[in-house]
Structure 1
Amino acid sequence: MAIIDRGGVPEATIARLRDAPVARQAGLDRSPLLFTVEEQIPDIAFPGGARMTGTYCPITVDARPLLSFRPQPVPGGPMVMSLVLGVAGEEPDLIVKDNEWRPAPDAWRFERRGNRYRFSHVGGTALLAFAHRAADEIAIEAMRGVFGGKMLEIGENGTMLDGMPVTIPSVRSQLVGVHL
C-alpha cells in the first residue's frame, strides 16, 4: 500500500486493476511460474483451429468462466471440469461443478458415446459437445448458450457472439483464454 499512499500509482490504474486483476486478464503467460510446472490441464481444440494449452478457463463471458479445468488431484486421475450453460430468459446454470452433475434431470441432459460427450438443455437451446481425443486433449465440437444476455455459438462455422463473428485465439499457459 505504501506506493499507493505516496501517489506512485494513479487511482484510475488501481481501480482498473481491482476490477480486472492482471492474473485474470487474457494474455498473462503463466509458463514461467514455478507452481504451474507440474499441472496437467488438457489442451482445448476449437473448430477453426484455435488451440488453448495449459489454460484454466478457456472462455469467459462477462467475467464468468463458462468452461474451466483444474489439475488432476491424483496423478493419472481424471481432469476436473466445471461447466456453466445458459438459456434465454434464465440465469445460466452451473451444470457441472468439479466433475459433479448439478442440475435437475428434467431440465438438462448428459450423453456419452465412446469418447464424445454432450451436455444439453431439454429445449435444445444450450449445449456443449466435445470429444476427448487423448488424455491431454479435448476438441470442442459445438457450444451454444446465453450468457449475460449474449448469445454465444461455437461450431464448424466459427464463433459468433450475438450474431457477430468473434475470433478465438490460440493461447498457451494463461489463466483465461478469451474474454467475450
Structure 2
Amino acid sequence: MTIYRYLALPAESREKGATLLCPTCHGLVEEGRLTPTQVCSFHANPVVRQRHFARDRLPFSSEMPHLIVGGSRLLRDTPIPVTVDGEPLLIFAPPRRANGATRISLRLAAPDGTPVQIIDGNEWLPTDGSWHFLLRGDRYSIMAARGDGLAVLRIVARNRIAVEHLRATIKGRRIEITPDWLEIDGKRHIDRIGSGSLIGLEL
C-alpha cells in the first residue's frame, strides 16, 4: 500500500529521490522510533530485500491470488469478485514486475452512498482523513471515518487472500461479505460468487 507523507531528510538523501515506507515504518517515523538517517539507509538496503525479511505473509506473487470469499469454494482467476450496479468493490491484478506485489484496488461508498475509490492499484487515494488504513500482522483494515464503510483483507499466503469483512452501502444497496457468506440487502447467500471469470458476481 502506498501512502504519501513527507519527512525532512538530510540534503544528501533528497538527491537520491523519494523513500517509500510501508505503513508500519511510517508509524515508527511518526513515533520518533526511526530517525531520518535510518530512513536514508533504506535506499541502499531496503528492508524487503534483507535476508531476515519474511515475505510469506505479504502478497508477493506473480500469479493472480486465490480468494477466500463468500462461501466454501476457493475462487481462482477471478479479478473482480463482486460488482454492485456496475461498481467493482475489489479488483485484484498480478504485479507489473515478476517479483512485485499483487495489485489491489478498493471501491466503497461515501456516507451518502456515492461510490468512492479508496485504493487504486495499491495506491492510497484519500487525502482528507475520510478513510483510515491499519496494517496489523497479516491484515489490511480500511475504515471510513464516518459511516459504516469497512474492508478487512487477510494475507493467508503469498497467493491467497481472504476477504475477512467487507461492508458498504452503495447506491442504496447494502452489501456485506465475509469468507463464509455474502449478504445483499439483508438476504444471505453462500457460494454465489463464481470462479474462473472476470467478474464473480454482478448485482
Following the alignment from structure 1 to structure 2, what is the Cα–Cα distance between the partners of residues 140 and 156? Answer: 6
Following the alignment from structure 2 to structure 1, what is the Cα–Cα distance between the partners of residues 172 and 123? Answer: 26
Unpaired runs of 5+ in structure 2?
Answer: 1-61
Q: Does 1:175 align with 2:175?
A: no
Equivalent position of 1:96 in the other structure? 119
Q: Does 1:125 align with 2:148?
A: yes
SS of 2:89 mapped into structure 1: strand
Equivalent position of 1:55 in the other structure? 78
Following the alignment from structure 2 to structure 1, what is the Cα–Cα distance between the partners of residues 115 and 148? Answer: 12
Q: Which has the higher contact order (CA 8 A, sep 6+)?
A: 1
Identity of aligned residues (%): 30
Following the alignment from structure 1 to structure 2, what is the Cα–Cα distance between the partners of residues 168 and 148? Answer: 24
Following the alignment from structure 1 to structure 2, what is the Cα–Cα distance between the partners of residues 77 and 44? Answer: 18
- How many aligned residue pairs are there? 142
Following the alignment from structure 2 to structure 1, what is the Cα–Cα distance between the partners of residues 153 and 147? Answer: 16
How far did residue 105 of structure 1 move?
4.3
How far did residue 84 of structure 1 move?
0.2
CA 1:46 to 1:120, structure 2 compared with 1: closer, same or farther past 3 Å? same
For residues 119-162 of structure 1, what are the alpha-carbon distances to aligned partners after superposition, in whole Å with 9 as ceiling and x for unaligned? 11013501010110111100111000012220101237732111
Contact 2:194–2:200 under 8 Å retained in 1: yes
Equivalent position of 1:29 in the other structure? none
Contact 1:88–1:149 under 8 Å retained in 2: no
The amino acid of 2:115's aligned partner reads P
More strand per residue: 1 or 2? 1
TM-score by length of 2: 0.64
For residues 29-61 of structure 1, what are the alpha-carbon distances to aligned partners after superposition, in whole Å with 9 as ceiling and x for unaligned? xxxxxxxxxx72101102542321111111111
Equivalent position of 2:185 in the other structure? 162
Following the alignment from structure 1 to structure 2, what is the Cα–Cα distance between the partners of residues 124 and 89? Answer: 9
The amino acid of 1:142's aligned partner reads H
CA 1:136 to 1:157, structure 2 compared with 1: closer, same or farther past 3 Å? closer
Equivalent position of 2:100 in the other structure? 77
CA 1:105 to 1:179, structure 2 compared with 1: closer, same or farther past 3 Å? same
CA 1:138 to 1:148, structure 2 compared with 1: closer, same or farther past 3 Å? same
Following the alignment from structure 2 to structure 1, what is the Cα–Cα distance between the partners of residues 180 and 200? Answer: 20
